[in-house]
Chains A and B, each alone.
Chain A
Amino acid sequence: MGMRSYLRFLRRCAGVSLKGDWRYYAWIGVLAALCVTGLNAYAKQFVAGLEITGMSDQVSWGVYIANFTFLVGMAAAAVMLVIPVYIYKNEDLHDLVIFGELLAVAAILMCLAFVTVDLGRPDRFWHLIPVIGVFHFPGSMLSWDVLVLNGYLLLNVYICGYLLYCRYQNRKPAKWFYIPFVFTAIFWAISIHTVTAFLYVGLGGRPFWNSSIVGPRFLASAFTAGPAFVILALQVVRRASATAGDGARRQPRGDTAASRRQLHRPATAADLDLLALYLPELESVSPEERRECLAGATILAVAAGDVLLYQGALDNDAFFVLKGRVVVRREEGGRYRTTRNIGPGEQFGEVSALTGTPRAATATAAEPTEVLCLPQESLRSLMRNPKMNEIITWRMGERLMISDRSLLILRAIVQVSMIINVFLLANEIFTEFYNTNGHDVSWRYLVLGLDGYHALVPWFWTALTLNIGAMVILMLPLSRRLKWLNLACLMCIFGIWIEKGMGLVIPGFVPTPLGEMVEYVPTWNETLVCVGIWAFGLLCFTIFLRMSVPILQGELSRANEA
């Protein structure tokens, strides 16, 4: 039974991932074509060997490992959404945690692909599998990386899968089944990036990397680029899951079924019994408490299309659905997006009832619907029961809100991380340049060029300009406006990508430990492989979002399986 319903869940997820409008198909089509192009380039490399890349014995790692390093950071940054929610109980980011973790999954898949294409003998990957192969643990930092990356992948797949499946079933996730994993994932995320930094830091023969500040720099840059990417991705989700058309159906404020008191009748004990069928927690409410709650409660029967409450209105009744279905839509930046799709036993309108704030969204009956309408005091009395309090409070958190507020919380994270990142870079630059002790040749090559070689100089200065530019924008109030925020985020992502990739991996090899100057420039084929892997990662992330957004909105749930 459980297995069958889980398989049905997976089948429906797969089904929804194949559906979308023309923009979705175009995007998926372009990504798929780029994936195949990358696959073709990799097939060529597989035949010719790594000779087809720009790498050499002098510069023996290139853009593959550079991208790998950057993406481990992106994956680690998912915790920057998790920490505020689970440690600081910040509800604004609640649903966004799942998006962050899905990004982590896609990023780790890309990491694994980048490592694989970098291997000279990918057919021998099994030598790396503990027990079957020979796993050099704990001696080799690379073996640590294999463990932490795959462990992180499993953790995130499990957490996302469990939370989404619970939401699909409209079931409250059991704390013991995910909270321990969430906290493990927080430490694990920090470990994946620290371990990746140690890959470099542990090499005593490479002074450019052999610096204890590299680990902290890795974390700071990851916590900049990751949330910056999430800020952009969330706005794409917000736009893609919203429609411009729904606004036309808007009616003048105040003219709701509730305000018209249409088909009203006082609620009775029988109505609460009906509700208890869908809401088992209600069983624990004593008859006296139920009677107390029924005072002032009414039953409202409405037709499909009737509006039950309006976004922005100041009324404060709370509702429970008894029959039918209610769709909750929210206006965000001129567009309308479904935040919930509610069936019998579920509540809406309780936030305004409890806080007195204006309605956050508009609720419309999707079919002939009966709802139990509770005045503020009745809801309060119901919530004096601890079980009811728990379920109602939990459900308050379970709605897909990509508010500007949550974007601004992420902005604060990006802002602080970028300041720390630039500060740490300044520390390193000072240490290397104030003293001329011969430790600094790779730094000189990166920043100023050395002996007429300066392939990396434009990369470094571009990254520095982007990072400092982004930091300045983020520190100014104008970055509260989304246009500026998005610009700053793009600058962060590209700046960090260069800093962690070309700016970190390549100079470690130039000059060689024997002082030879050989530069590295990626080849066309190598670039195509990278593009293919990025397309593959974005394809995964897109499909993950395509599946999870309808689940979070309640459009894809067990209730509407038929």
Chain B
Amino acid sequence: MASDTTDNGMSRRSFLRTSTVLSAGAAAIAAGLAPLRKLGQFTSVDEFVQKYYKELSPEEMKAVLARIEDEVQRQYGIRPHVRDYKPMNGVEFVYALNLTRCVGCRKCVHACVAENNQSRNPEIQYIRVLRMPNDGTFDVDKGDHNYAPKSVPEPGVFYMPVQCHQCKNPPCVKVCPVKATWQEPDGITVVDYNWCIGCRYCEAACPYWARRFNFTDPSIPPDQLNLNMSYLGNRPRRKGVMEKCHFCIQRTRAGRYPACVEVCPTGSRKFGNILDPDSEVSYILRNKRVLVLKAEVGTLPRFFYYFDV
């Protein structure tokens, strides 16, 4: 090796060789990175430097909401109305689901997809309905996720829809390394889609399998877009971030019922403010036989199952 170097540094031969190796290496790396040319709008400068939700001033929030409206308009050709709905004082939302009445029709699943602008391809759904055998075990491992009979209900089974339980002690919030998901004062656990780094630790932590990840860019037909959007709720998500049920924040914080409650044909789904003793959910919790799923994991769900009898 020493033979072709001189006291003054590199000889011509070794210089040529070094530059050949370096340029071949640079060319190989460039060729390796070639797929990146197909990368469309991945992020913008404004999106990249955007602050954490809780650190945004009202003015900054206004600018962010306007930017998101622009982004949606650019992508879907239609301008939505994106708002940052705030929790109401004296409100803690609770959900109750009547297992005696649920017939497993999955109308809630589809109403949720439409309301919350979930990806149609790949399909992302917040509600999963299990068909459970009536054998007294109440064991989810025996549940059937893919039941497809001609008509429901079927004999000998009951149906158990599962969605985010909005736990009081949420493991998903505890594990997030960047606090991109947190519990709001009204009990809803939300995700800042612009802060999530996509590590999926929350998805591993959730005992109810309630979180969904955007493994690729979601696709929604523009004519099916719900234009009443909220920042922490149903605005369209992007590739690489987590999402989940948020009790239809854009409806419930404006005094309406979640889409799944509204659509349920059997009235199995009840929703309301547990801090109001006259609410329907308060009545159910006081008077019905109520249970929570996987009480042993200690997450204290705000989602209760009950039976009529």
Q: Which residues of A contact B (CB under 8 A)?
A: 19, 32-33, 36-37, 39-40, 43-44, 46-51, 53, 55-58, 60-61, 115, 118-125, 127-128, 133-136, 139-143, 146, 199, 202-206, 438, 441, 508-509, 511-516
Q: How far is the CB of A123 from chain B (nearest CB, A)?
A: 6
Task: Give the 9 A-B CB pairs with smallest separation, nearest first.
Answer: A120-B198, A205-B207, A120-B240, A49-B216, A51-B216, A142-B177, A515-B141, A40-B32, A51-B215
Q: Produce 1/0 per residue, B192-206, CB < 8 A to A.
A: 000111111101111
Determine if B33 and A40 form an interchain contact, defined as CB atoms under 8 angstroms apart: yes
Determine if A438 and B139 form an interchain contact, defined as CB atoms under 8 angstroms apart: yes
- How far is B196's CA from A49's CA once the two chains are assembled, in angstroms? 15
Chain A contacts for B39, CB-based, 8 A: 46-47
Interface centre among B36, B174, B177, B198 (most CB of A within 10 A): B177
Interface centre among A39, A118, A511 (most CB of B within 10 A): A39
Partner of B178, one of A48, A50, A133: A133
Chain B contacts for A199, CB-based, 8 A: 201
Determine if A127 and B180 form an interchain contact, defined as CB atoms under 8 angstroms apart: yes
Determine if B179 and A134 form an interchain contact, defined as CB atoms under 8 angstroms apart: yes
Selected A-B contacts with CB under 8 Å, 18 pairs: A19-B1, A36-B31, A49-B217, A60-B200, A60-B213, A118-B199, A120-B213, A122-B197, A125-B197, A139-B174, A142-B175, A202-B175, A203-B175, A204-B299, A205-B294, A206-B207, A514-B162, A514-B209
- How far is B213's CA from A539's CA once the two chains are assembled, in angstroms? 34
Partner of A47, one of B38, B204, B214, B298: B38
Cβ < 8 Å to A, chain B residues 238-293? 239-242
Q: How far is the CB of A43 from chain B (nearest CB, A)?
A: 4
Chain A contacts for B139, CB-based, 8 A: 438, 515
Chain A contacts for B28, CB-based, 8 A: 32-33, 36
Determine if B200 and A134 form an interchain contact, defined as CB atoms under 8 angstroms apart: no
Determine if A515 and B178 form an interchain contact, defined as CB atoms under 8 angstroms apart: no
Q: How far is the CB of A55 from chain B (nearest CB, A)?
A: 7
Q: How far is the CB of B34 from chain A (nearest CB, A)?
A: 7
Q: How far is the CB of B70 from chain A (nearest CB, A)?
A: 20
- How far is B209's CA from A349's CA once the two chains are assembled, in angstroms? 69
- How far is B226's CA from A340's CA once the two chains are assembled, in angstroms? 75
Contact flag A57-B213 (CB < 8 Å), given A46-B39, A515-B143: yes
Determine if B197 and A119 form an interchain contact, defined as CB atoms under 8 angstroms apart: yes
Q: How many residues does chain B have at the interface if contact means C-beta atoms less than 8 Å apart?
A: 64
Chain B contacts for A511, CB-based, 8 A: 141
- How far is B205's CA from A509's CA once the two chains are assembled, in angstroms? 10
Interface centre among B33, B199, B208, B212 (most CB of A within 10 A): B199
Partner of B195, one of A44, A49, A127, A139: A127
Since A47-B39, A128-B178 are in contact, a sample of 20 more A-B pairs with Cβ atoms closer than 8 Å, ordered by chain A residue number, is: A39-B32, A46-B36, A47-B38, A48-B216, A49-B239, A50-B215, A50-B216, A57-B215, A58-B209, A60-B204, A120-B199, A124-B48, A127-B195, A139-B174, A205-B171, A441-B141, A513-B209, A514-B130, A515-B143, A515-B145
Chain A contacts for B55, CB-based, 8 A: 134
- How far is B299's CA from A204's CA once the two chains are assembled, in angstroms? 9
Chain A contacts for B140, CB-based, 8 A: 513-515
Determine if B32 and A140 form an interchain contact, defined as CB atoms under 8 angstroms apart: no
Chain B contacts for A40, CB-based, 8 A: 31-35
Chain A contacts for B174, CB-based, 8 A: 139-140
- How far is B299's CA from A50's CA once the two chains are assembled, in angstroms? 29
Determine if B145 and A124 form an interchain contact, defined as CB atoms under 8 angstroms apart: no
Partner of A120, one of B36, B195, B241: B241
Q: How far is the CB of A314 from chain B (nearest CB, A)?
A: 38
Interface centre among A121, A127, A199 (most CB of B within 10 A): A121
Please give me the residue from chain B that is nearest to A38 by CB atom: B32
Q: Produce 1/0 per residue, B125-145, CB < 8 A to A.
A: 000101000000001111101
Chain B contacts for A56, CB-based, 8 A: 215
Please give me the residue from chain A that is nearest to B130 by CB atom: A514
The reply on B29 being an interface residue by CB < 8 A is: yes
Partner of A123, one of B42, B122, B162, B214: B42
Contact flag A47-B178 (CB < 8 Å), given A61-B204, A508-B204, A513-B140: no
Q: How far is the CB of B37 from chain A (nearest CB, A)?
A: 9
Determine if A512 and B209 form an interchain contact, defined as CB atoms under 8 angstroms apart: yes
The reply on B43 being an interface residue by CB < 8 A is: yes
- How far is B129's CA from A516's CA once the two chains are assembled, in angstroms? 12
Interface centre among B34, B36, B139 (most CB of A within 10 A): B36
- How far is B207's CA from A511's CA once the two chains are assembled, in angstroms? 12
Partner of B212, one of A57, A141, A515: A57
Determine if A44 and B241 form an interchain contact, defined as CB atoms under 8 angstroms apart: no
Q: How far is the CB of B203 from chain A (nearest CB, A)?
A: 4
Determine if A120 and B130 form an interchain contact, defined as CB atoms under 8 angstroms apart: no
Determine if A127 and B178 form an interchain contact, defined as CB atoms under 8 angstroms apart: yes
Determine if A143 and B200 form an interchain contact, defined as CB atoms under 8 angstroms apart: no
Determine if B196 and A509 form an interchain contact, defined as CB atoms under 8 angstroms apart: no
- How far is B119's CA from A57's CA once the two chains are assembled, in angstroms? 14
Chain B contacts for A39, CB-based, 8 A: 29, 32-33
The reply on B97 being an interface residue by CB < 8 A is: no
Chain B contacts for A124, CB-based, 8 A: 48, 178, 195-198
Determine if A204 and B298 form an interchain contact, defined as CB atoms under 8 angstroms apart: yes
Chain B contacts for A60, CB-based, 8 A: 200, 203-204, 213
Partner of B198, one of A32, A119, A204, A206: A119
Contact flag A203-B203 (CB < 8 Å), given A49-B214, A128-B177: no
Determine if A515 and B200 form an interchain contact, defined as CB atoms under 8 angstroms apart: no
Chain A contacts for B225, CB-based, 8 A: none
Chain A contacts for B209, CB-based, 8 A: 57-58, 512-514, 516
Chain B contacts for A51, CB-based, 8 A: 122, 215-216
The reply on B297 being an interface residue by CB < 8 A is: yes
Please give me the residue from chain B that is nearest to A43 by CB atom: B35
Determine if B203 and A141 form an interchain contact, defined as CB atoms under 8 angstroms apart: no
Chain A contacts for B185, CB-based, 8 A: none
Chain B contacts for A513, CB-based, 8 A: 140, 206-209, 294
Q: How far is the CB of B89 from chain A (nearest CB, A)?
A: 26
Chain A contacts for B52, CB-based, 8 A: 127, 133-134
Please give me the residue from chain B that is nearest to A21 by CB atom: B1
The reply on B25 being an interface residue by CB < 8 A is: yes
Please give me the residue from chain A that is nearest to B42 by CB atom: A123
Please give me the residue from chain B that is nearest to A39 by CB atom: B32
Cβ < 8 Å to A, chain B residues 166-196? 171, 174-180, 195-196
Partner of A43, one of B36, B42, B201: B36
- How far is B198's CA from A458's CA once the two chains are assembled, in angstroms? 31
Please give me the residue from chain A that is nearest to B55 by CB atom: A134
Chain A contacts for B205, CB-based, 8 A: 203, 205
Chain A contacts for B239, CB-based, 8 A: 49, 120
Cβ < 8 Å to A, chain B residues 18-53? 25, 28-29, 31-36, 38-39, 42-43, 48, 52
Determine if B208 and A120 form an interchain contact, defined as CB atoms under 8 angstroms apart: no
Chain B contacts for A55, CB-based, 8 A: 215
- How far is B305's CA from A547's CA once the two chains are assembled, in angstroms? 65
Determine if A438 and B199 form an interchain contact, defined as CB atoms under 8 angstroms apart: no
Determine if B32 and A43 form an interchain contact, defined as CB atoms under 8 angstroms apart: yes
Partner of A49, one of B207, B212, B215: B215
Please give me the residue from chain A that is nearest to B29 by CB atom: A36
Please give me the residue from chain B that is nearest to A49 by CB atom: B216
Contact flag A49-B180 (CB < 8 Å), given A140-B175, A203-B205: no
Please give me the residue from chain B that is nearest to A19 by CB atom: B1
Q: How far is the CB of B148 from chain A (nearest CB, A)?
A: 15
Please give me the residue from chain A that is nearest to B37 by CB atom: A47
Determine if A120 and B196 form an interchain contact, defined as CB atoms under 8 angstroms apart: yes
- How far is B210's CA from A514's CA once the two chains are assembled, in angstroms? 9
